[in-house]
Chain A
Amino acid sequence: SQKIEQNSEALNIQEGKTATLTCNYTNYSPAYLQWYRQDPGRGPVFLLLIRENEKEKRKERLKVTFDTTLKQSLFHITASQPADSATYLCALGGLIYNQGGKLIFGQGTELSVKP
């Protein structure tokens, strides 16, 4: 069956450390993968997109890797800050023709950065 899984347990780290979040999927062949941030009571906010033919993408303190053989994406936040505390969602896209812009989301990983 098709599945997309993120770290199910909340991630607690110390300020200044690197946070690494995992997104694994099975029985999907996405053309791209996106990462979003969601704060309580708010809609998700887009962070990064990586295509199937790209290995790594960076934006400021954020880095995403995409391994289509392992069917896994890793999301890193370097020099983490308490303001980075939020739930992070991965989403698969470009899955099926005529499915529009359907995104398949993972359940999210809650990150807490302690000062």
Chain B
Amino acid sequence: ETGVTQSPTHLIKTRGQQVTLRCSSQSGHNTVSWYQQALGQGPQFIFQYYREEENGRGNFPPRFSGLQFPNYSSELNVNALELDDSALYLCASSHIPGSPYEQYFGPGTRLTVT
């Protein structure tokens, strides 16, 4: 068990709505990354948070935003949901950003947009 938890496990939303996904990092980890994984594809990097600041971002529009809290837990917010946002959203925690340490992934949140 990695210790990274995510909530909720499943979510169904309608196009145009907003969603908030939550992640608690593994104990002792101060860095959280978020990934989007479409069916049959590898995870795609959305962004990373380190000590409550965004520390790198992938090719995702501004309607994908995030937060990290003092206890290192994190939220991913997606506004104006589109059908293509349907995917498994993974968060991963690690010790130090940018270093070659393994990332510990949570089980993911399955988001379906109808």
Residues of A within 8 A of B (CB): 31-32, 34, 36, 41-46, 49, 51, 89, 91, 93-94, 98-108
Contacts and interface: CB of A to CB of B under 8 A. Distances in A.
Contacts of B48: 100-102
22 contacts: A32-B100, A34-B100, A34-B102, A43-B90, A44-B90, A44-B105, A46-B104, A49-B102, A89-B43, A91-B42, A99-B98, A100-B47, A100-B48, A100-B50, A100-B98, A101-B31, A101-B48, A101-B94, A101-B99, A102-B45, A105-B44, A107-B40
Interface of B: 2, 4, 31, 33, 35, 40-45, 47-48, 50, 55-56, 58, 90, 92, 94, 97-108
A94 B47 CA distance: 15
B4 A43 contact: yes
B102 A101 contact: no
B106 A94 contact: no
Nearest to A47: B102
Given A43-B106, A45-B105, A100 B97 contact: yes
Contacts of A34: 100, 102
B34 to A, nearest CB: 11
A107 B41 contact: yes
